[in-house]
Amino acid sequence: MKIEFFEHNIGETEIKRVIEVLNSLFLTTGDVVSEFEQKFSSYLGCRYTIGVTSCTAALHLSLLAYGIGKEDEVLTTPMTFIATATPILHAGATPVFVDVEPETGNIDATKIEEFINENCSFNGIKGELLNRATGKRIRAIVPVHLYGHLCDMKKIRAIANQYNLIVIEDAAHCIEGERDGVKPGQLGDTACFSFYATKNMTCGEGGAVVTNDESIAQKIRLLRLHGMTKNAADRYTKKYEHWDMEALGWKYNMDNIKAALLLNQLDLIEERWALRERLCQKYEEAFLKIQDIDSPTVLGSTKSARHLFTVWVDPGKRDAILWQLQDHGIGVAVNFRAIHLLEYFRETFGFGRGMFPIAEKIGDSTISLPTYPKLSTEQVDYTIECVRRIVPQ
């Protein structure tokens, strides 16, 4: 049997919407993007959505909109994809890693507090949190809702309020999630989403920022398209008016073709989430009794977005298990090796083994299994059977 790691859900409805756009005048940012933005806002219960070309762009623009740059530091997790940290570097700031919770792999709010207590001084009058070792200001926290399980946003928001920090959520895995009645984007200053090829909803490459802050939404809208005051639809569908360049912006605008791919997927998002929820529960039940397999915990009062299902195995055997699963035709992935151990981060910042031991352990143990609605019962049963046979050895 051959089981792909991921199969998308683009079908006739999406293709029809794309053809409509292709037959229309406007291919770039226009009314289909606006339609998607409004729909996405109402799904999440947030005021503003800005469609962009990737989650990386969404994170970059969020940081820029809050003026985060040189001489600034941003607290984040090493248990994530590199694109959580690279926008911090693109903005000119420095990522400061905090280790994760062993049960979930999410950034540990208690460790954020410990880091601040041990390394920082807070000037309440200026509202500035200073890292004493580097002399830089800590400006923001970027939590990642790993695999779709929300971080402890209530606690993270409380810490941010206490020390005057911005919270930018990397919600690349977590459109459908909820915890303690809170959805992504509701306690963060912005939340950033990915519509990359393997995400729960995809247009190949795409992303979005959501926020409840009108002036930040305006800034991000400006910065996603060169800092221009008018987009192409404004310039060519109405009486011509000159545009201005108000800021140095970027070329990150979502286009109508991408938005057309997303609309129907957003309509079906809960239906598809329910299928993944059932699948993940089946995996969980099957692996519960196997001693050599561990898995991230979905905490009480949490609805996981169920983006990835990962098993944690003996770090010494992980790669061998990975290859054996592949030999049996099962598509697997590693999400993720702790990023501070990747060459660029080691060489640029002097990171090494032992600095974030929990993230390192998860990164050395983790294997992602196929987690998408198109999987048949036979494929799921076969995957479970292979894992059962291959892991304990």
Ligand X SMILES: *Cc1c(COP(=O)(O)O)cnc(C)c1O
Task: Write out the binding residues for ligand X, residues 193-222 only, by CB under 6 A.
Answer: 194, 196, 207
Report the C-alpha gap between 90 and 156 in whole angstroms: 24
Task: Write out the binding residues for ligand X, residues 100-159 only, by CB under 6 A.
Answer: 144
Q: How many residues bind ligand X (CB under 6 A)?
A: 14
**Residue 305 in contact with residue 174, Cβ under 8 Å?**
yes
Span between the terminal Cα atoms of the chain, in Å: 22
Task: Write out the binding residues for ligand X, residues 269-308 only, by CB under 6 A.
Answer: none
CB atoms within 10 A of CB 135: 8
Q: Which stretch binds ligand X (CB under 6 A): 13-21, 60-68, 111-119, 168-176?
A: 168-176
Residue among 17 and 173 whose Cβ is closer to ligand X = 173
Q: Which of 29, 49, 54, 368 binds ligand X (CB under 6 A)?
A: 54
CB atoms within 10 A of CB 237: 11
**Residue 301 in contact with residue 180, Cβ under 8 Å?**
yes
CB atoms within 10 A of CB 34: 15
Report the C-alpha gap between 293 and 281 in whole angstroms: 15
Task: Write out the binding residues for ligand X, residues 62-91 only, by CB under 6 A.
Answer: 80-81, 83-84
Is 170 among the residues that bind ligand X (CB under 6 A)? yes
Residue among 210 and 391 whose Cβ is closer to ligand X = 210
Q: Which stretch binds ligand X (CB under 6 A): 53-61, 158-166, 214-222, 341-349?
A: 53-61
Residue among 108 and 163 whose Cβ is closer to ligand X = 108
Q: Which of 29, 41, 49, 56 binds ligand X (CB under 6 A)?
A: 56
Report the C-alpha gap between 167 and 112 in whole angstroms: 13
Burial class (CB in 10 A: 0-12, 13-18, 19+), 299: middle
CB of 205 to ligand X, least distance (A): 7
For ligand X, the binding residues (CB under 6 A) are 54-56, 80-81, 83-84, 144, 170, 172-173, 194, 196, 207
